[in-house]
C-alpha cells in the first residue's frame, strides 16, 4: 500500500471514530418518537444520526459558567477553541509553548465525548509580536516549527485542523491576501499543509476562510482553484472550512449548496466552521443546514458561540440561544433540518448543481531563460524536531538561467527522506539527488525556485551542490 493510500485510510478511520463517538453520545441522549422515525432532541444527537457533527466555538473562560456548560454539554458534539489554539495563545514567546487553556477545552470536550477541531495553525492575524516582526526564511521556519510543535502536542486529540486561515483577499481580485506569511513565498500554504501532515498524519487538514460562501464570488473561485490544484499535485488537503459569518454584508447566498457541492466534488470534506447570522433569522439558518444535509461530504456545522451574549458580535444576536439560554426560533429550524437529514451513505461524489470553473490550476510562473546553462547554486534551510525534519531547498540560477537543474547532497548517517515536493528524487539515504519537475526547471538568471523534502533522523550538515542544464 502506498504511503499516500495508507494516510488516506488512516484519516478515514479517524473520521469514522469521530462519527462513532458522536453516535455513542447520541445514543446516550434523549430521543423521542416522531411518527415511525426517531427524532433526536438535541443538535449534536441529531447531527450524529447522519454521521455529522454539530459544534460550537468555546472560550476557556466560559467553562466556569454553569449555565453555559449545561447548554454546551446537552446540545453539542463538537468543540472549536475560540481563541486558545491560535498562534498568540500557544506560542506567546518564540519556542515557548503554552497550552493550558487549550488543554482545558480539549479535556472538557473529550470528557463529554465531543470531538475537537483545531483552530488555527497559520494565520496572518493574532500573531504574537515576535512573529509579526519576522519575515523571509526566519518566518517560514518559525511557521513550520509552530505547526510542528502544536500539531504534535494535540496529535490524537483533534480530528481536524484549520491549517491555514483566511489567506485570500476580499473583493474581486481573487488574489492572495498580502501578509508577512504570503511575502515568504507563494508556496507557504502548501508548505504549511505538508508540515501539518508530517506532524499529525491522522488529522483532517482544512483550509478555512470567510466570504467563500457565494459560488460566483472571485474569492470563492480563487480558493476553489487552489484546492483543485492541491488535489491534482498531491498536496495533503482533506477539507475546506466555510466560516459562514452571515451579516448584512455577506448574506446567506442562494447558491450556497452549489458552493458546498462544488468543493466536495474536488474530493475534500466540507465543514461549516463559524456559522452565525445577523439577527438569527430562522429561514437563513434552515437553508444553511438544509444545504449541508444535501451534500454527503458536508460533514458538520459549527456555530460561533452558544448564546448571543457569548458571541463576538453579541450586538447582532446571531446565535441559536438568547442571553438567558433560551432556544430561539432559529434553534427549532436547525433541529428540524438536522432530523430530516439523509445519512451520507452514498459515495462522496455529489455533483455540483452548476458546472465548476474550467480554468486550469495555476502553475508557478516560469520565465524562460534566453540561454543556459549558466550554473546554479542551492541552499538548504531546516525545520527540525526530535526524530525528523523538513528541509526547504532554494535553487538560484546563475548568469544565464537554467533549462533544468539537479541538486545533490549527502544525508547524515541515520537520516532518510520520506517524501519530497516540487522535485523528482532518487535515493532516500546517503547520497540523494533531486531534479526539477516540469514546471520549475526553467529559471531566469538570478531568479530562484524552491523544493522541499521531509525526513526522519537528524538533517543537519547537508551541503547541496547544484548543476544546471
Instruction: Provide the annotated active-site residues.
Output: 166, 274
Q: Which is nearer to ligand G3I, 200 or 274 (CB)?
A: 274
Long-range contacts of 105-108 (CB under 8 A, 24+ apart): 105/58, 105/60, 105/63, 105/79, 105/81, 106/81, 106/154, 106/157, 106/158, 108/58, 108/63, 108/79
Q: Which is nearer to ligand G3I, 210 or 451 (CB)?
A: 210
Closest approach, Cβ 164 to ligand G3I, in A, equals 12
Per CB under 6 A, the list member of 75, 82, 238, 450 interacting with ligand G3I is: 82
Q: Which is nearer to ligand G3I, 126 or 133 (CB)?
A: 126
Q: Which is nearer to ligand G3I, 19 or 85 (CB)?
A: 85
Residues 263-322 that bind ligand G3I (CB under 6 A): 274, 312
- Residues 239, 228: Cα–Cα separation, whole Å: 12
Q: Is 126 in the site for ligand G3I (CB under 6 A)?
A: yes
Q: Which is nearer to ligand G3I, 77 or 120 (CB)?
A: 120
Q: Is 83 in the site for ligand G3I (CB under 6 A)?
A: yes
Long-range contacts of 154-158 (CB under 8 A, 24+ apart): 154/85, 154/102, 154/106, 154/116, 154/118, 154/200, 155/199, 155/200, 155/202, 155/203, 156/202, 157/106, 157/110, 157/116, 158/106, 158/115, 158/116, 158/117, 158/118, 158/200, 158/203
Q: Which is nearer to ligand G3I, 10 or 126 (CB)?
A: 126
Beta strands in 369-414 (DSSP E): 376-385, 388-397, 405-410
Which residue sits closest to ligand G3I, CB atoms considered? Answer: 312
Sign of CA dihedral 293, 53, 51, 117: positive
Please write down the HEC assignment for all residues of 307-342: EHHHCCCHHHCCCCECCCCCECHHHHHHHHHHHCCC
x/- letters, 160..199, toward ligand G3I (CB under 6 A): ----------------------------------------
Closest approach, Cβ 186 to ligand G3I, in A, equals 22
Closest approach, Cβ 273 to ligand G3I, in A, equals 8
Q: Is 125 in the site for ligand G3I (CB under 6 A)?
A: yes
Q: Is 337 in the site for ligand G3I (CB under 6 A)?
A: no
Q: How many residues bind ligand G3I (CB under 6 A)?
A: 8
- Residues 47, 288: Cα–Cα separation, whole Å: 14
Closest approach, Cβ 134 to ligand G3I, in A, equals 20
CA-nearest of 465, 413, 464, 459 to 144 is 459
Closest approach, Cβ 210 to ligand G3I, in A, equals 6
Closest approach, Cβ 162 to ligand G3I, in A, equals 8
Q: Is 209 in the site for ligand G3I (CB under 6 A)?
A: no
CA-nearest of 371, 375, 368 to 398 is 375
Residues 344-383 that bind ligand G3I (CB under 6 A): none
The radius of gyration of the chain's CA atoms, rounded to the nearest angstrom, is 23
Per CB under 6 A, the list member of 214, 243, 259, 261 interacting with ligand G3I is: 243
In the numeric block, which cell numbers belong to residue 322?
438568547
Residues that bind ligand G3I (CB under 6 A): 82-83, 125-126, 210, 243, 274, 312
Amino acid at each position: 500500500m502506498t504511503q499516500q493510500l495508507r494516510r488516506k485510510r488512516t484519516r478515514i478511520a479517524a473520521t469514522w471514530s469521530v462519527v462513532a463517538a458522536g453516535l455513542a453520545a447520541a445514543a446516550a441522549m434523549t430521543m423521542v418518537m416522531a411518527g415511525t422515525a426517531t427524532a433526536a432532541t438535541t443538535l449534536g444527537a441529531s447531527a450524529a444520526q447522519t454521521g455529522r457533527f454539530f459544534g460550537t466555538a468555546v472560550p476557556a473562560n466560559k467553562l466556569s459558567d454553569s449555565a453555559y456548560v449545561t447548554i454546551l454539554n446537552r446540545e453539542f458534539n463538537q468543540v472549536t477553541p475560540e481563541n486558545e489554539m491560535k498562534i498568540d495563545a500557544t506560542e506567546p514567546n518564540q519556542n515557548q509553548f503554552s497550552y493550558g487553556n487549550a488543554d482545558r477545552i480539549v479535556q472538557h470536550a473529550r470528557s463529554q465525548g465531543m470531538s475537537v477541531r483545531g483552530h488555527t495553525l497559520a494565520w496572518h492575524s493574532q500573531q504574537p509580536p515576535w512573529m509579526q516582526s519576522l519575515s523571509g526564511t526566519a518566518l517560514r521556519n518559525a511557521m513550520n516549527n509552530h505547526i510542528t510543535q502544536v500539531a504534535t502536542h494535540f496529535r490524537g486529540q483533534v480530528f481536524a485542523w484549520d491549517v491555514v486561515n483566511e489567506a485570500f483577499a476580499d473583493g474581486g481580485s481573487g488574489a492572495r491576501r498580502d501578509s508577512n506569511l504570503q511575502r515568504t513565498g507563494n508556496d507557504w500554504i502548501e508548505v504549511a499543509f505538508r508540515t501539518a501532515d508530517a506532524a499529525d498524519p491522522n488529522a483532517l487538514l482544512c483550509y478555512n476562510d470567510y466570504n467563500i460562501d457565494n459560488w460566483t464570488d472571485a474569492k470563492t473561485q480563487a480558493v476553489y482553484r487552489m484546492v483543485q490544484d492541491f488535489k491534482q499535485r498531491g498536496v495533503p488537503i482533506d477539507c475546506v472550512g466555510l466560516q459562514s459569518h452571515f451579516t448584512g454584508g455577506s448574506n446567506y447566498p442562494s447558491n450556497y449548496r452549489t458552493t458546498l457541492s462544488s468543493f466536495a466534488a474536488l474530493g475534500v470534506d466540507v465543514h461549516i466552521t463559524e456559522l452565525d447570522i445577523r439577527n438569527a433569522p430562522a429561514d437563513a439558518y434552515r437553508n444553511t443546514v438544509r444545504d449541508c444535509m444535501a451534500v454527503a461530504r458536508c460533514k458538520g456545522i459549527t456555530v460561533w458561540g452558544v448564546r448571543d451574549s457569548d458571541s463576538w458580535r453579541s450586538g447582532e444576536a446571531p446565535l441559536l440561544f438568547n442571553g438567558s439560554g433560551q432556544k430561539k426560533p432559529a434553534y427549532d429550524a436547525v433541529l428540524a433540518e438536522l432530523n430530516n437529514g439523509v445519512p451520507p451513505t452514498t459515495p462522496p461524489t455529489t455533483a455540483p448543481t452548476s458546472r465548476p470553473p474550467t480554468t486550469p490550476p495555476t502553475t508557478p510562473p516560469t520565465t524562460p531563460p534566453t540561454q543556459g546553462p549558466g550554473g546554479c547554486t542551492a541552499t538548504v534551510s531546516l525545520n527540525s524536531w526530535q526524530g525528523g525534519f523538513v528541509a526547504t531547498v532554494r535553487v538560484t540560477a546563475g548568469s544565464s538561467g537554467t533549462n533544468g537543474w539537479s541538486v545533490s547532497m549527502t544525508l547524515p548517517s541515520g537520516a532518510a527522506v520520506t517524501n519530497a515536493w516540487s522535485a523528482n528524487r532518487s535515493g532516500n539515504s546517503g547520497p540523494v539527488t533531486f531534479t526539477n519537475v516540469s514546471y520549475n526547471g526553467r529559471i531566469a538568471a538570478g531568479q530562484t525556485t524552491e523544493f522541499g523534502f521531509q525526513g526522519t533522523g537528524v538533517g543537519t550538515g547537508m551541503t547541496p551542490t547544484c548543476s544546471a542544464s
